[in-house]
Each structure stands twice: as C-alpha cells, then as structure tokens.
C-alpha cells in the first residue's frame, strides 16, 4: 500500500485493516476482531488531533490554500461555499492528512467506501477530497429537500439513519456536529442569522 510508504508523522497511531471484501479500514483500535486482517499502522493524525490547539487564525490561514477549489465545486453544485468551509472546519480543521477513529479521511472526512462511490481515488488529495465531499453534501441536500439540518445529519450519520429516525437521529455526536457546523457557518456568514431547524424533527 502506498500509504505505508509515506513518512511516519507525529500523533496517535492509526491501525490499518482490510475487511473481507478488501476495503481498507483506518482506526485507532489495536484489534478489529476476526472479520478484519491487520495490514499495518501509520502515524497520520486523527481528525481530533488535527484540531488540537489550532487557533482560529491558523485555521483561516490553512483555509486560504483551498478557497478557490471550494468555490469552484460549491458553485458547480449550487451549494453555499461558506457551508462547505464550515463543514471542513469541523471535520478536519483544514488538515488534509486527518484520519478519524473510524477511518474517514482528508479535509471533508470521506469514508473509503463513499470515496470510491464518488470516484475519489486519493482522499488525501485536497482537490479530489473537496470535489467528493461537496458532491456528497449536495446529494444529501437534494435527498432531504434542501433541509440543511437534515443534510448535515446525513453527512455525519448517514442518510439511512436520518430516514430511519424520521429526522435528526438521537445521537449526541450527530446533534453536536450540526451545532458545531452551524456555529462555524454563522462565524463565516454572520449576516445570515441562520438557525437550526428543530432537532426533534
């Protein structure tokens, strides 16, 4: 795997497994059980590590490198570019190397299966990742009648969870995620005064 040839970095170790159909799984768990084959480990920072100690000024500087790409794909899909920036801030603090504890990768934290479905061959490439993430978020908006709250819930927990629960799933992580993204969005576009739709929906 190419990823194993990259230089080891700082941070928590990420363990790499393959499931039965060969899909790579990135996790901070040392043991994934008998259904997974251990491949190796890698020192990419987890998403939470990527945000640790990052100041607002530092995150804004990181964002500058990706603004044109965000604008291009946001306009292509008719999505609010500040919403995409807000999602990236919460997902990875604009660290293109971020990997979550469940294996989501890159700026917009794409799961390997989702990345493949979106035609993203390298989720750590910022342009590919943003293209895939914006495409996926646009699909969630369309699926849920352009309800931003439900689209964010689907981005975090999956559209199936939103449909099963008839609205925002009762997961603390998902509800916190929506709140955090909207806080970042209001920071980026304070003039909108945009608020959340009722989480109990």
pLDDT digits (tens, 9 = 90+) for 119-143: 999 999 999 999 999 999 999 999 9
Tell which wins on pLDDT, 201 or 84.
84
| Helix boundaries (H) for 53-111 | 56-64, 67-77, 81-92
Summarize pLDDT for 26-83 with one digit per residue, the tens.
666 667 677 667 666 555 555 666 777 888 888 888 899 999 999 999 999 999 999 9
Q: Answer yes or no: are the C-beta atoms of 39 and 24 closer than 8 Å.
A: yes
List active site positions.
Answer: 91
Confidence check: pLDDT of 178 > 90:
yes
Domain membership of residue 140 (yes or no) is: yes
Identify the domain containing residue 112 by its residue range.
45-190
Domain membership of residue 199 (yes or no) is: no
Q: State how many domains the chain has.
A: 1
Q: Nearest Cα to 103, choosing from 35, 173, 27?
A: 27
Domain membership of residue 3 (yes or no) is: no
Look at residue 197 in the predicted model and tell me its pLDDT: 46
| Helix boundaries (H) for 20-147 | 47-51, 56-64, 67-77, 81-92, 112-117, 126-143
Summarize pLDDT for 142-172 with one digit per residue, the tens.
999 999 999 999 999 999 999 999 999 999 9
Look at residue 33 in the predicted model and tell me its pLDDT: 73
Domain membership of residue 54 (yes or no) is: yes
Q: Answer yes or no: are the C-beta atoms of 91 and 109 closer than 8 Å.
A: yes
The CATH number that applies at residue 86 is: 1.10.530.10
Summarize pLDDT for 84-106 with one digit per residue, the tens.
999 999 999 999 988 887 789 99
CA distances from 198 to 142, 149, 150, 195 (A): 19, 9, 10, 9
Q: Answer yes or no: are the C-beta atoms of 147 and 197 closer than 8 Å.
A: yes
Domain membership of residue 40 (yes or no) is: no
Domain membership of residue 14 (yes or no) is: no
Domain membership of residue 105 (yes or no) is: yes
Q: Nearest Cα to 95, choosing from 69, 134, 70, 63?
A: 63
Q: Which residues contact 155 (CB under 8 A, 6 or more apart)?
A: 87, 136, 137, 140
Look at residue 121 in the predicted model and tell me its pLDDT: 95
Q: Alpha-carbon dihedral of residues 14, 59, 81, 188, nearest 10 degrees?
A: 130
Q: Nearest Cα to 106, choosing from 126, 87, 86, 77?
A: 126
CB atoms within 10 A of CB 140: 21
Structure tokens at 131: 């293209």
């Amino acid at each position: 795997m190419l990823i194993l040839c990259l230089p080891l970095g700082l941070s928590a170790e990420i363990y790499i497994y393959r499931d039965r159909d060969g899909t790579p799984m990135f996790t901070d768990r040392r043991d994934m059980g008998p259904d997974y084959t251990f491949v190796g480990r890698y020192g990419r920072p987890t998403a939470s590590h990527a945000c640790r100690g990052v100041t607002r000024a530092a995150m804004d500087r990181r964002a500058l490198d990706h603004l044109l790409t965000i604008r291009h794909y946001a306009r292509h899909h008719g999505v609010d570019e500040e919403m995409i920036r807000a999602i990236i801030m919460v997902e990875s603090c604009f660290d293109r190397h971020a990997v979550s504890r469940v294996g989501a990768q890159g700026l917009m934290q794409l799961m390997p299966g989702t990345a493949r479905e979106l035609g993203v061959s390298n989720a750590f490439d910022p342009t590919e990742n943003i293209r895939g993430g914006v495409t996926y978020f646009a699909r969630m908006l369309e699926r849920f009648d352009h309800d931003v709250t439900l689209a964010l819930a689907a981005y975090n927990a999956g559209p199936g969870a939103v449909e099963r629960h008839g609205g925002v799933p009762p997961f603390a992580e998902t509800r916190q995620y929506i709140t955090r993204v909207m806080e970042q969005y209001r920071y980026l576009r304070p003039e909108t005064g945009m608020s959340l739709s009722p989480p109990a929906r």
